[in-house]
């Protein structure tokens, strides 16, 4: 069974631009969560989608948004990029929603904002 | 609100020595607890989890953890580490339901020859 895939793996953008990251969950998994990982703030929860609906949202500004498609693939978008958005963005999938379920993580997308 | 404290940011240890990585949590309800490992330039991999039942949980790669409700702890242990165990380890908690996972700040395990 293929694992969680994220594209692209690396991305370089400049301040003010926007970016879209993609995540394909494990086949059969309907829940996708997104996390931001930085040296200073650690792992922080962004949002969770289940059956195309956002079920949970972390404490991030509205510049961060996401969506989920009918095939469970998910995208997250960051608009008006800031230097502080430089981070490793991790996607995790699970069979059902909720933090109590085992989450399988992808390798991440490393975003650098110049 | 739930929170996780990993008391040690770095733990250096010699190969074949035992190791314990400490994790304390705070939650007002019953909890699910997890340990994840992250190797350089990779995502997180689940080591083990406690959902209910026996308080001693065995995971992959010879790791185990003990859930202690009175001490609100979930320390990770391995009796004999290997160079390949060098990685960052994250403790995480969830109260289940709709709540997302909350991660600790991580402990970098450095195994020296």
Examine the pLDDT at B20 and tell me if it is beyond 70.
Answer: yes
Contact A107 B97 (CB under 8 A): no
The whole-number average pLDDT for the span B36-41 is 92
- Residue among A49, A53, A4 nearest A25 (CA): A4
Q: Is B61 helix (H, G, I), strand (E, B) or coil?
A: helix
Identify the band that residue B111 occupies on the pLDDT scale cut at 50, 70 and 90: very high
Examine the pLDDT at B28 and tell me if it is beyond 90.
Answer: no
The more confident residue out of A109 and B101 is: A109
Q: Which residues of B touch A (CB under 8 A)?
A: 32, 34, 36, 41-46, 49, 51, 90, 94-106
φ/ψ (deg, to 5) at B63: -85, 150
Residues whose CB falls within 8 Å of the CB of residue A61, separated by 6 or more in sequence, listed in order? none
Examine the pLDDT at B64 and tell me if it is beyond 80.
Answer: yes
End-to-end CA distance of chain B: 41
Residues of A in contact with B104 (CB under 8 A): 42
Residues of A in contact with B45 (CB under 8 A): 105
Examine the pLDDT at B96 and tell me if it is beyond 80.
Answer: no
Average pLDDT, chain B: 91
CA distance, residue A106 to nearest chain B CA (Å): 5
Looking only at the bridges linking them, the beta strands covering A109-113 and A10-13 are: parallel
Q: What is the pLDDT of residue B95?
A: 76
Token code pair at residue A25: 């969950």
Find how far residue B94's CA is from the centre of its chain: 13
Q: What is the pLDDT of residue A29?
A: 93
Q: How many CB pairs lie under 8 A apart between chains A and B?
A: 61
**Whole-number Å distance between alpha carbons of A100 and B62:** 23
Token code pair at residue A71: 């095939």
**Whole-number Å distance between alpha carbons of A111 and A9:** 8
Q: What is the pLDDT of residue B42?
A: 86
Examine the pLDDT at B97 and tell me if it is beyond 70.
Answer: no
Q: Which residues of A touch B (CB under 8 A)?
A: 4, 33, 35, 42-43, 45, 48, 55-56, 58, 90, 92, 97-100, 102-108
What separation in angstroms does the CA of A32 have from each of A99, B4, B91? 11, 22, 20
What separation in angstroms does the CA of B39 have from each of A55, A68, B36, B93? 29, 28, 10, 20
Q: What is the pLDDT of residue B41?
A: 81
Find how far residue A29's CA is from the centre of its chain: 15
Averages of pLDDT over each 10 residues, chain A, 114 residues: 92 97 95 94 93 92 96 97 97 82 91 97
Identify the band that residue B100 occupies on the pLDDT scale cut at 50, 70 and 90: confident
Q: Give alpha helix (H) positions in chain B.
A: none
Q: Is B58 helix (H, G, I), strand (E, B) or coil?
A: strand
Nearest to A90 among B41, B43, B95 (CB): B43
Examine the pLDDT at B106 and tell me if it is beyond 80.
Answer: yes
Token code pair at residue A60: 């991030």
The more confident residue out of B53 and A29 is: A29
CA distance, residue A108 to nearest chain B CA (Å): 6
Q: What is the pLDDT of residue B40?
A: 87
**Whole-number Å distance between alpha carbons of B12 and A21:** 36
- Residue among B112, B95, B91, B86 nearest B103 (CA): B91
The more confident residue out of B99 and A108 is: A108
CA distance, residue B48 to nearest chain A CA (Å): 10
């Amino acid at each position: 069974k293929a694992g969680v895939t994220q594209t692209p793996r690396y991305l370089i953008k400049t301040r003010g631009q926007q970016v879209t990251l993609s995540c394909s969950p494990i086949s059969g998994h309907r829940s996708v969560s997104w996390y931001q990982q930085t040296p200073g703030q650690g792992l922080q929860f962004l949002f969770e989608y289940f059956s195309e609906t956002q079920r949970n949202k972390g404490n991030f500004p509205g510049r961060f948004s996401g969506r989920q498609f009918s095939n469970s693939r998910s995208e997250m978008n960051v608009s008006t990029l800031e230097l502080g958005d430089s981070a490793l963005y991790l996607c995790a999938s699970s069979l059902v929603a909720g933090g109590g379920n085992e989450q399988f993580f992808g390798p991440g997308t490393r975003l650098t904002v110049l | 609100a739930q929170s996780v404290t990993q008391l040690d940011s770095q733990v250096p240890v010699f190969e074949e020595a035992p190791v314990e990585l400490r994790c304390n949590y705070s939650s007002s309800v019953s909890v699910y607890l997890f340990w994840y490992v992250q190797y350089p330039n990779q995502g997180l991999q689940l080591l083990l989890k406690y959902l209910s039942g026996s308080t001693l949980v065995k995971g992959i790669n010879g790791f185990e953890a003990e859930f202690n409700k009175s001490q609100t702890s979930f320390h990770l242990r391995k009796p004999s580490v290997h160079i390949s165990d060098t990685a960052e380890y994250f403790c995480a908690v969830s109260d289940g339901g709709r709540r997302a996972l909350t991660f600790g700040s991580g402990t970098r395990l450095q195994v020296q020859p």
